[in-house]
Amino acid sequence: MIVIKIGGSVVDGLHPSTLADIKAIAEKEKLVFVHGGGKEVTATATKLGKEQKFIVSPGGVRSRYTDKETADIYTMVMSGKINKAIVGMLLRQGIKAVGVAGVDGGILKAERKKKLMVINEKGRKMVIDGGYTGKINDVDPSLVNTLVNSGYVPVVSPIALSEEFDFLNVDGDRAAAYVAGGVKADKVIFITNVNGLMLNEKLVTGMNLEQAKATLPKIGFGMEKKVLACTEALEMGVREAIIASGQVENPISSAIAHNNCTVITPK
Q: Check whether 179 has a pLDDT greater than 70.
A: yes
CA 95 to chain centre: 21
Helix (H) or strand (E) holding 71: helix 68-76
Residue 266: per-residue pLDDT: 97
What pLDDT band is residue 241 in, cutting at 50, 70 and 90? very high
| Domain segments of the chain as ranges | 2-265
Q: Is the pLDDT of residue 205 over 70?
A: yes
Percent of the chain with pLDDT over 70: 99
Closest CA to 36 of 9, 13, 12, 63: 9
149 is known to lie in a ligand binding site: no
218 pLDDT tier (thresholds 50, 70, 90): confident
**Residues forming a β-bridge with 155:** 33, 99
Do residues 203 and 196 make contact, with C-beta atoms less than 8 angstroms apart? Answer: yes
The answer on whether 112 is annotated among ligand-binding residues is no
Gyration radius of the chain's alpha carbons: 18
How many of the other CB atoms lie within 10 Å of CB of 215?
17
Provide the CATH number for the domain formed by 2-265 in this structure: 3.40.1160.10
Task: Look up the pTM and report it.
Answer: 0.93
Q: Are 244 and 191 in contact (CB under 8 A)?
A: yes
Is 37 marked as binding a ligand? yes
Read off the pLDDT of residues 37-62 as tens digits, 9 standing for 90 and up. 988 999 999 999 999 898 888 877 77
User: Among 7-16, 32-41, 53-62, 248-257, which stretch is predicted with the lowest mean pLDDT?
Assistant: 7-16
Q: Is 130 annotated as a binding residue?
A: no
CB 179 within 8 A of CB 107: yes
Q: Note whether 26 and 19 are within 8 A (CB).
A: no
pLDDT band at 122 (very low <50, low <70, confident <90, very high): confident
Answer yes or no: are the C-beta atoms of 266 and 234 closer than 8 Å: yes
Burial of 16 (0-12, 13-18, 19+ CB in 10 A): exposed
Partners of 86 in beta bridges: none
Mean pLDDT to the nearest integer, 140-168: 97
- Helix, strand, coil shares of the chain, percent, nearest 5, are 35, 30, 35
Classify residue 49 as exposed, middle or buried by CB count within 10 Å of its CB (0-12, 13-18, 19+): exposed
